[in-house]
Structure 1
Amino acid sequence: MVTEESNKNKDSNKALKILAGVLAVALIALAIYTISFYNEEKENQQILQTEKASIENELNDLIIKYDDAIEENEVLDQNMIEARERITRLLDSVKDNEANIALIARFRREIGNLRAEKDRLFRVVDSLSAQNQLLATSLDSTSTQLEERTRISDSLQETNQSLANKVNRASRLQITSLRGEGVIVRNSGKIVENDRTRRVDQIRVCFTISGNDLAEPGEKDLYVQVYNPENELVGDKIAVQHQGGVMVYSATSKVFYENEELDVCILANASEDKLLEGSYKVYVYSGPYLIGTSNFSLR
């Protein structure tokens, strides 16, 4: 009986040793697996973080490209600005979320879509830029042609104006044989020349209008200014409004001109206090234009 009980105890101890060995092996295996799983998980997390950083860099690169394109291109599509804003929002989302396989996969898909959209938009912008450059070149050419035509037109206008001025000057009345003299007007109407100031009562200005086929025929307004030795106006001081302002004359007369020579005499009243010994100046005008000057003397 003692021997049988002893054998049973031996078998039980042996079984316990085997079980303890199995448990020890299991614990060792579990420890190895745990360590391996931890290392693998840590490695996977590092890969995810690296992938997340790579995504952030790619998004930043896309934003820079959009910024450069928006700054350089005058012709902008609203789609480019909206695309840049979507990239910025996605970058903020990447930064705010912990990296995991599902998020990384989604972010990668969105980056792929954004890159495809960027390529399409940039092709559109390049096309518009090329069209604008072509248009600018065309406008430059048109502007150059317009400037040349304007220059020619200005030159022709100056030439025409010069010709018009010459024709205008040539068409004005011209006079010869201009002379001024003191006269006495008799009661009978007879006019007697006199160069003594004490006896003169009027100044007579006589001249001949030359024939001129370029002048317009018809009634002409003629004006005379007579200045005494003290440069005082002698006569009735007739004020006439011209385009350039008011002129004051000694006397005025109307004549009918038919493009042929015409002798004209105009009388200017002379008050006694204006008649002085010395040299007098005479100016004759056709309208506002001076057409002759002369001098005469009174004793």
Structure 2
Amino acid sequence: MTETKSNTALKILTGILAVALIALGIYTVKFYNEEKENKAILQKEKAVIEDELNDLIVKYDEAIATNEVMDQDLVDARQRIAVLLDSVKDSEANLVLISRYRREIGALKSEKDRLFRVVDSLSNQNRLLATTIDSTNMVLAQRTRMSDSLQVTNQSLSTKVDRAAQLKVTGLKGEGVIVRNNGKLVTNNRTRRIDQIRTCFTITENALSQAGEKEMFVQVYNPENELVGDQLAVQHDGGVMVYSAASKIFYENEELDVCILSNTDREKLMEGTYKVYVYAGNQLIGTSSFALR
């Protein structure tokens, strides 16, 4: 009887173990399949991340090839993407790394959008500056007496980007004036009566410009392209520039009306069209013309 019970218990135990083994096998197979599926998903996600990084690199390469502005910023950003791409390729795909790479890609895309907006803005300003320089070159070609110094300035202007913080002027105009005994200035366009030439303009509001004292210069050229004024020679980084007059102003990032008077030489005053150029330091920021009789 005891032996019969033992056999029965052994059979039950064997059955339980068999069921447990079957359940364990099923769980193992299921776990293996799930693990395999998860790895496949992670590998697919890793491939997607690599494609996105490669796409970012291609876009940066195109931007670097077609833009001369902010080249170093673009190159640095591209290098960070390349380093991240190498890290992704060398890493075994797992959920933690994939999540981190996703966050880094989001940050890189935001940086790309910001940089590209800045590049587009600066490129547009650069094209505008190039148009201004082309117009200026036609005048510069006629100034044989100042060709060396003006060529240096022109080359400097042609290679610089018109930064967003550069001062800008509106309402630029030149005119002849008579100086009364009481100091009052009266506008006049007859060369025989003019005492000085007045150049007036408004410096526009610009929160990005550095506030403080600014040195402004004016060049006035008569119809024969002779410089009218005090012949002020000023040494800049790019060379010596000669101006008709100069004035120091204090700029506080708000609109500022400015007028600069240039002395006249009767021998250089003649009927015709005069050209006026306004500089902030050695940067050309405005040009205009006016006529005298």
TM-score after normalising by structure 1: 0.46
Computing the radius of gyration over CA atoms, which structure comes out larger, 1 or 2?
Answer: 1
TM-score by length of 2: 0.47
